């Protein structure tokens, strides 16, 4: 039985940091363990232009804990007005690592997202030309599509047609939640990858709804039934480099979660590495943890793997805070529902 594991320092390929006081409160939770993260652009207002991304990057670097070498990998929020040349310039200067597609209305702060995909054709073609990845929130928003089916329908009606119409476009299907998405991604070449969150490896829809409503387990895409969670665990722990970690750690203050219309998002930055080690350990897949957290993401994005390492050691239950304090109020840390035994050291 392994009791210690040293891996290349991990990266988070999908992270919400927000801005202002919330940014300051949550950033150390990520920089403690992660070297880099793809930073989601769904601020209010969103990060739409290269100039917005420059400003947001400066806010993040200003808020970094002293001595941190954390690198934010910036993204632009795709709108129907996005200018292909602005995107290409932001890519050429190394400012952005990806563009984010939110179908309009799909999730938190997605109102400026794309409703008519024909309007972003020019941007997608340009991205395919220059090899800039598109990160996709893969859910349709049609009122007549059941929320548990929205990912599957998106693959058929939107994602697959976009990829066929845009040969060479590199796509990350983000925070996948279904066995159908796993199978679709596995069946494609390496121009398609998927991120998997920590929480979707742990919870199914019962965690949200059984015995009362549990708002801190509500996120989008919403967790599905247990057979889907098992498919995600199998994919994440398999070592297949189509799949890598994107926590989608998404802070909302408790008041915004524990209310009549609560926000979507699980905050997992604090305990993600201990949870993942526990999940991989249970699957006897610890040797594949490094691929998931530290190797497959850089390979997809064409970035070097991190030089520094992180050591996980198995021992007594790990203590972590139940909440992070921000000036806007407390943020509840994701509770996996089981003890964590893997301590994260330098
Ligand atoms: O649960 C989620 N929260 N899903 C998203 O897509 C957005 C995120 C957020 O920004 O809070
Ligand atoms: Zn997200």
Write the residue with the smallest CA distance to atom 2 of ligand 1: 265
Q: Please report the pLDDT score of residue 112 as a whole number.
A: 83
Sign of the Cα pseudo-torsion (288, 292, 298, 299, in order): positive
Would you say 203 and 275 are in contact if contact means Cβ atoms under 8 Å apart?
no
Decide if pLDDT at 12 tops 80: yes
Asked if omega into 221 is within 30° of 0 (cis), the reply is: yes
Decide if pLDDT at 24 tops 90: yes
Ligand of minimum distance to the alpha carbon of 13:
2
Query: Ligand 1: which of 265, 267, 328 to mutate, judged by most atoms within 8 Å of the beta carbon?
Result: 265
Decide if pLDDT at 144 tops 70: yes
List 248, 281, 335, 339, catalytic entry: 248
For residue 65 the two structure tokens come to: 């804990």
- Strand (E) or helix (H) holding 5: strand 4-8
Q: Report, as an integer, the average pLDDT of 14-39.
A: 98
Q: Report, as an integer, the average pLDDT of 62-66.
A: 97
Q: What is the DSSP string of 229-266?
A: HHHHHHHHHT--TTEEE---B----HHHHSSTTPPP--
Would you say 288 and 239 are in contact if contact means Cβ atoms under 8 Å apart?
yes
Q: What is the DSSP string of 11-44?
A: EEEEE---SHHHHHHHHHHHHTT-SEEEEP---S
Would you say 280 and 231 are in contact if contact means Cβ atoms under 8 Å apart?
no
Decide if pLDDT at 109 tops 80: no
Decide if pLDDT at 105 tops 90: no
Q: Answer yes or no: pTM beyond 0.75.
A: yes
Decide if pLDDT at 196 tops 90: yes
Decide if pLDDT at 106 tops 90: no
Q: Please report the pLDDT score of residue 107 as a whole number.
A: 73
pLDDT tens for each residue of 226-252: 999 999 999 999 999 999 999 999 999
Active site residue 62: no
Would you say 327 and 261 are in contact if contact means Cβ atoms under 8 Å apart?
no
Pocket of ligand 1, beta carbon within 6 A: 16, 42, 107-108, 137, 219-220, 248, 250, 264-265
Range with the poorest average pLDDT among 67-76, 114-123, 178-187, 225-234: 114-123
| CA Rg value for the chain | 19
Q: Report, as an integer, the average pLDDT of 60-66.
A: 97
Q: Please report the pLDDT score of residue 59 as a whole number.
A: 98
Distance of CA 255 to CAs 218, 262, 265, Å? 14, 8, 13
Q: How high does pLDDT run on average in the chain?
A: 97
Q: What share of the chain is helix, strand, coil (3-state, %, to 5)?
A: 40, 20, 45
What is the length of the chain? 346
Q: Report, as an integer, the average pLDDT of 270-284.
A: 98
Decide if pLDDT at 1 tops 70: no
pLDDT tens for each residue of 310-331: 999 999 999 999 999 999 999 9
Q: Report, as an integer, the average pLDDT of 160-166.
A: 96
* Domains of the chain listed by start with CATH number: 4-345 (3.20.20.140)
Q: Report, as an integer, the average pLDDT of 265-286.
A: 98
Q: In whole angstroms, what is the distance from residue 34 CA to residue 17 CA?
A: 13
Ligand of minimum distance to the alpha carbon of 334:
1
Categorize the per-residue pLDDT at 111 as very low, low, confident or very high, splitting at 50, 70 and 90: confident
Separation of 71 CA from ligand 1 center, angstroms?
A: 21
Q: Please report the pLDDT score of residue 250 as a whole number.
A: 98
Would you say 127 and 82 are in contact if contact means Cβ atoms under 8 Å apart?
no
pLDDT tens for each residue of 203-212: 999 999 999 9
Tell me the residues surrounding ligand 2 (ion) with CB < 5 Å. 248
Decide if pLDDT at 179 tops 70: yes
| Closest C-alpha among 274, 300, 344, 294 to residue 11 | 294
Query: Ligand 1: which of 12, 23, 42 to mutate, judged by most atoms within 8 Å of the beta carbon?
Result: 42
Place of tokens 């190394």: 94
């Amino acid at each position: 039985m392994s009791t210690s594991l040293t891996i290349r320092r991990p990266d988070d390929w999908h992270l919400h940091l927000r801005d202002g006081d919330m940014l300051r409160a949550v950033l150390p939770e990520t920089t403690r363990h992660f070297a880099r993260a793809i930073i989601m652009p769904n601020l209010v207002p969103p990060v739409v232009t290269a100039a917005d991304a420059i400003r947001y990057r400066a806010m993040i670097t200003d808020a970094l804990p002293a001595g941190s070498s954390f690198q934010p990998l910036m993204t632009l929020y795709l709108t129907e007005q996005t200018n292909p040349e602005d995107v290409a310039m932001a890519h050429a200067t190394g400012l952005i690592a990806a563009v984010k597609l939110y179908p309009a209305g799909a999730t938190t702060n997605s109102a400026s997202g794309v409703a008519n995909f024909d309007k972003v054709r020019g941007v997608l073609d340009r991205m395919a030309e220059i090899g800039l990845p598109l990160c996709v929130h893969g859910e349709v928003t049609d009122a007549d599509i059941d929320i548990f089916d929205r990912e599957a329908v998106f693959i058929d009606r939107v994602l697959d047609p976009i990829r066929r119409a845009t040969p060479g476009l590199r796509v990350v299907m983000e925070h996948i939640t279904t066995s159908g998405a796993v199978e679709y991604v596995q069946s494609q070449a390496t121009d398609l990858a998927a991120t998997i969150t920590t929480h979707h490896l742990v919870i199914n829809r019962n965690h949200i709804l059984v015995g009362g409503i549990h708002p801190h387990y509500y996120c989008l895409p919403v967790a599905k039934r247990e057979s889907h969670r098992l498919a995600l665990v199998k994919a994440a722990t398999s070592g297949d480099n189509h799949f890598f970690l994107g926590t989608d750690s998404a802070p909302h203050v408790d008041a915004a979660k524990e209310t009549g219309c609560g926000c979507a998002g699980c905050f997992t930055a604090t305990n993600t590495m201990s949870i993942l080690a526990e999940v991989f350990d249970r699957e006897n897949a610890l040797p594949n943890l490094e691929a998931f957290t530290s190797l497959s993401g850089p390979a997809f994005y064409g970035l070097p793997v991190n030089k520094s390492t992180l050591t996980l050691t198995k021992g007594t239950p790990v203590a972590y805070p139940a909440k992070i304090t921000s000036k806007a109020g407390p943020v509840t840390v994701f509770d996996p529902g089981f003890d964590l035994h893997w301590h994260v050291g330098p």
